[in-house]
A and B are shown apart, each in its own frame.
Chain A
């Protein structure tokens, strides 16, 4: 029963998070359009690099999925609950995309307001700690040798902490004008 409630909570949490992010961006877009008469920051180099990062993330997910499928075939049993591998690969894709974009300066906003992003990723990482301690108290995310959905807070924490560290390092290593 508790697993069922956990899954329900997970679905609700993800749905509400997606809605909140969607509303946030819609609101921001609307405000930007009003402020700038519809024009938006456009940097062709950054767009090109984001496209390349997306491509790398796509192939990472593709290869990761293929490798996991081969592993399951070789072992003759799944290592994760249904859907967990999809989530893991999605987070891996986000990580590859995010890290590459940060390293190559492919985002206007991140370079202009690194503190905002540090705060966002830092808070998201810290927010996972409660869920992580709950999962650890319940015996960890592995049940009967199978990785369950309870791995989600761990993956989120690792992903957002990695992005936090990348931005912090990149910001600290920022070179003065004309030197980078």
Chain B
């Protein structure tokens, strides 16, 4: 399932996939794969993304 909340949060901070990838120390393709729902990140990477975007895990990754 696509993670549109992550994409929206990234766009709200005016960050490109590459910029977010650099902030969390992964490749751009990994950010792209998470946004497309092709890859389930570990809690460590989820936390790093949340810190970079100033969001909580619930806000970005919790599915109702």
Interface residues of A (CB under 8 A from B): 41-46, 105, 108, 111, 177-178, 180
B5 on interface, CB distance cutoff 8 Å:
no
User: Which of B11-64 touch A at CB < 8 Å?
Assistant: 16-18, 25-30, 32-33, 35, 39, 41-42, 44-45
Chain B residues with CB below 8 A from A108, complex form? 27
B30 touches A43 (CB 8 A): yes
Q: What is the minimal beta-carbon distance from B23 to any residue of chain A, in angstroms?
A: 13
What 5 pairs across the A-B complex have the smallest Cβ distances? A105-B29, A43-B26, A45-B30, A45-B39, A43-B27
Select which of A44, A177, A178, A180 is within 8 A of B26 by beta carbon.
A44
| Cβ contacts under 8 Å, A44 to chain B | 26, 30, 41-42, 44-45
Using CB atoms and an 8 Å cutoff, list the residues of chain B in contact with chain A: 16-18, 25-30, 32-33, 35, 39, 41-42, 44-45
Interchain CA distance A176-B35 in the complex, whole Å: 15
Q: How close is A101's CB to chain B, nearest CB, in angstroms?
A: 12
For residue A177, which residue of chain B has the nearest CB? Answer: B17
> Which residues of A are found within 8 Å of B41, using beta-carbon distances?
44-45
What CA separation (Å) do A180 and B38 show in the bound complex? 11
Out of A46, A177, A178, name the residue touching B30 (CB < 8 Å): A46
Query: How many Å lie between the Cα of A45 and that of B37 in the bound state?
Result: 13
